[in-house]
Amino acid sequence: MFVQAARYMHNHNANEEDLMNFRCYGVEKDPDTNKIAKMNLLLNNVRGEITEANSFYSDPYDAVGKFDYVMANPPFNVDEVNYERVKDDPRFNIYGIPRNKTKKSGKKDSDKKETVPNANYLWIAYFASALNQNGKAALVMANSASDAAKSELEIRIKMIEEGVISQMVTLPSNMFNTVTLPATLWFFDKNKPNTSKKDEILFIDARNVFTQVGKAHRKFSEEQIKNLGIITRLYEGDTQAFQDLLNEYKANLETQDNKEYWQEQIDWLNERFPDGVYQDIIGLCKVAKIDGEDGIKDQDYSLNAGRYVGVMIEDDGMTKEEFKYTMLSLNDELSKLNEEAKQLEEQIALNIKGLFGE
């Protein structure tokens, strides 16, 4: 992520001062991964520090209120985090620490060390508390965290009411090589409470926006990333970015061979934002208020995008990508059935030959 951030700055013509000031900091528990990360920074000429430590129990950079930007893809649903070792850590106490509400009973139970029931909200609190007053963060989190109840709900309410959560993006399933769990992108903006957007959150449901890679993996194409990103830019009032992207696609339409593809990208933008300004799109994006009818409070402070953006009903109930994936899967299944039929036909022929001869 650090290397990609540096490349993004280069590709978007960052000035020399910004490039010189760019410095990244990371914490990695696994020694081998730590060495690989350091080598990656060195090979890509990125200045930074990667410290070998357990993020829950160690704060090597005294992180609270320090960072301009935070990006993270932490492990989901970590358990067995020792509550006693994190309960007084300021990184986690700004928003609170998840705890089991049930009381312990019996000597055997009292001898056990209390653990945090699920560390998802430790990560969330950690990254939010690391930001300075103008800091922004983006992190990948399990979908279940968006609706988590009990003590996690209390933490979520505090963050929503404070106004630090700026945006939620639900991802398609099968976007990661190692896990099939669906995930959500959380975005924080520490300056948002000082703006007119304090009492609202932008929700984007991107579950139907993907490019199929084989049968078991999906990804975003470069254009899909740009198209989703322009939703945020429009929400922030950057109409020029929308026009620039349209002009980029139109130029590609004129100069590149795959004209149908570029026309699809132009149509995708124009059909959803015909006036070049942000608007709520059923099934895709919605700006939800905290208060009011069908607001975030009415939805029990859920941060699940599907609760707000609604569902776009199509004739076949599928997007173009889903239809393509379904047809490819059916074609694979048909090929397997044809092969099985061929084998059965050969076996039947052998059986008949065995019974009756030539």
139 lies in some domain: no
Q: What is the pLDDT of residue 156?
A: 98
311 lies in some domain: no
When mean pLDDT is compared over 12-26, 106-120, 230-244, 323-337, the highest value belongs to 230-244
Q: What is the pLDDT of residue 110?
A: 57
Select the more confidently predicted residue: 9 or 175: 175
Using CA atoms, how far residue 95 sits from 4, 67, 89, 169, 199, in Å, is 30, 17, 11, 22, 18
Q: How many domains does the chain have?
A: 1
> Residue range 209-237: average pLDDT?
94
Residues spanned by the domain of 37: 1-53
One DSSP character per residue, 43-59 reads HTT--EEEEES-TTT--
Q: What is the pLDDT of residue 356?
A: 72
Range of lowest pLDDT (118-127, 188-197, 288-297, 308-317) = 308-317
16 lies in some domain: yes
Portion of the chain with pLDDT greater than 70, in percent: 92
Question: pLDDT grade, residue 7 (50/70/90)?
Answer: confident
Q: What is the pLDDT of residue 108?
A: 55
> Residue range 179-194: average pLDDT?
92
Using CA atoms, how far residue 248 sits from 218, 255, 266, in Å, is 25, 11, 9
277 lies in some domain: no
Measured between alpha carbons, how far is 204 from 287 in angstroms, rounded to an integer? Answer: 9
Evaluate if residue 107 carries a pLDDT over 70.
Answer: no
Residues 146-164 pLDDT 10s:
999 999 999 999 999 999 9
Portion of the chain with pLDDT greater than 90, in percent: 68
Range of lowest pLDDT (191-205, 238-252, 290-304, 327-341) = 327-341
20 lies in some domain: yes
Question: pLDDT grade, residue 206 (50/70/90)?
Answer: very high
Residues 77-97 pLDDT 10s:
999 999 999 999 999 999 999
Bridge partners, 213 (sequence order): 217
317 lies in some domain: no
Tally the C-alpha atoms within 13 A of residue 261's C-alpha that lie toward its C-beta: 10
Residues 111-143 pLDDT 10s:
678 999 999 999 999 999 999 999 999 999 999
77 lies in some domain: no
Q: What is the pLDDT of residue 322?
A: 61
Residues 299-340 pLDDT 10s:
999 999 999 998 765 544 555 566 666 766 776 787 788 788
Q: What is the pLDDT of residue 280?
A: 97
Measured between alpha carbons, how far is 90 from 171 in angstroms, rounded to an integer? Answer: 31
One DSSP character per residue, 128-171 reads HHTEEEEEEEEEEEEGGGGS--THHHHHHHHHHHHT-EEEEEEP
> Residue range 14-25: average pLDDT?
84
Q: Is the pTM of this model over 0.75?
A: yes
